[in-house]
Amino acid sequence: MSDTQPQPIDLLIEARWVVPVEPHAVVLEDHAVAVSGDRIVAVLPIADARTAYAPRETVRLPEHALIPGLVNAHTHNPMTLLRGLADDLPLMVWLQQHIWPAEAKVIGPEFVRDGVELAVAEMLRGGTTCANENYFFPDAIGATYRKLGFRAVVGLPVIEFPTAWAKSQDEYFERASEVHDSFRGDALVSTAFAPHAPYTVSDESFARIRVLADHLDIPVHLHLHETAHEVEEEKKKSGLRPFQRLQKLGLVNDRLIAVHMTQLTDGEIAACAEAGVSVVHCPESNLKLASGFCPAEKLRRAGVNLAIGTDGCASNNDLDMFGELRTAALLAKAVAQDAAAFDAASALHAATLGSAKAMGLEAKIGSIEAGKQADLAAVRLSDLETQPLYHVASQLAYASGRHQVSDVWIAGRRKLADRELVDMDMAAILARAHAWRERLAEG
């Protein structure tokens, strides 16, 4: 009999299944995750964990799969307040004639704060623990994420026309520098440059972004090759495809988070793989706006890092990453004309570790491994809709829904407990959402 005393820890989560994501496609039965402070210290069989550790709190999940928190690699979360405002329209009509005018009436720090708070509540209830944010007033966005204890990479917007956030090119960059500095070293909130798209950003701005992104060591997050129209217009203007233009400007590298990418040649796919570009697949937004199909399986087979994002609620219309990863897997099969394409484990990888890698966070989150941050989600698999259960990964990808997420932790702190938000006032969040609806409906 050993004289070794159990090690004190903060939390022990015992689960019927642990799906670590790394190693790939592995499911661990009757395992526990030991957490001290904000970090995972061990993943081991439940019986061994009970001997090795003396937790201050034990959470037992006998009917659940414990997965890494889902990572939404492309969002415009203040736009939750525009959910359903201008549906069933093509991208440029939707954007230029409806969304931009609606935003112009209301955009500001208060709108951004309330939209992000509504989004965080929705994401937590769906097992999402991190978002890659792309919107105006990043100072207010980042402050809201920080206050709510939610992990995020906050985009520093750059666009060539005046907005409520900045009036000139120089002001966009000055404010970007200020916001980046304000979150430097923050435990949960970091930054990325977020130039809107090649058709709204000049070569001069892209050149500045390239230099600053390298200097600050942050990603560049932008919409790219979202539609065939975008590609054709750029060819008329510069004689280049948008991707070629970014190559010429030195932006096709391992910092680039390229969102949508529905129009790709085999050569562009190979170039993405060689340069280390991450591609964010937003299948439901692309389907709803009839933008095209990202060749997800071709990208995966080429070795390109694939991530998954929901896009904003104005074009999706939800932040449901379980729905998104299912759609991504199904659509990839149809596009590749291969039923084995983008299998369940690959879809789950894209929605966790692949998204984390795109955002430069793969050393911190995206898998359940010792030393990583304890960003975790528990999915109850005993519901009628997920029975009988033969393969856990398949059930998560093809049968589970966000309503089955019972518990969520970010950096070791419980944010959702048995479907209840731990430190958010749902009634107040809903009241503010209703008030914004009335204000927008008036105009």
Check for a shared fold between 7-68+372-411 and 70-358: no
Task: With H, G, I as helix, E, B as strand and everything else as coil, classify residue 73.
Answer: strand
Six token digits for residue 230: 């975008």
Instruction: Note the pLDDT tens digit of each residue in 290-313.
Output: 999 999 999 999 999 999 999 999
Domain ranges of the chain: 7-68+372-411, 70-358
Per-residue tokens: 424: 């958010």
Helices within 254-376 (DSSP H only): 266-275, 283-288, 296-302, 321-336, 344-349, 355-358
10 Å CB burial of residue 81 (0-12, 13-18, 19+) is buried
Query: What is the fold of 7-68+372-411?
Result: Urease, subunit C; domain 1 (2.30.40)
| CATH hierarchy code of domain 70-358 | 3.20.20.140
pLDDT one digit per residue (tens) for the chain, 443 residues = 456 899 999 999 999 999 999 999 999 999 999 999 999 999 999 999 999 999 999 999 999 999 999 999 999 999 999 999 989 988 889 889 999 899 988 999 999 999 999 999 999 999 999 999 999 999 999 999 999 999 999 999 999 999 999 999 999 999 999 999 999 999 999 999 999 999 999 999 999 999 999 999 999 999 999 999 999 999 999 999 999 999 999 999 999 999 999 999 999 999 999 999 999 999 999 999 999 999 999 999 999 999 999 999 999 999 999 999 999 999 999 999 999 999 999 999 999 999 999 999 999 999 999 999 999 999 999 999 999 999 999 999 999 999 999 999 999 999 999 999 999 999 999 999 999 999 998 75
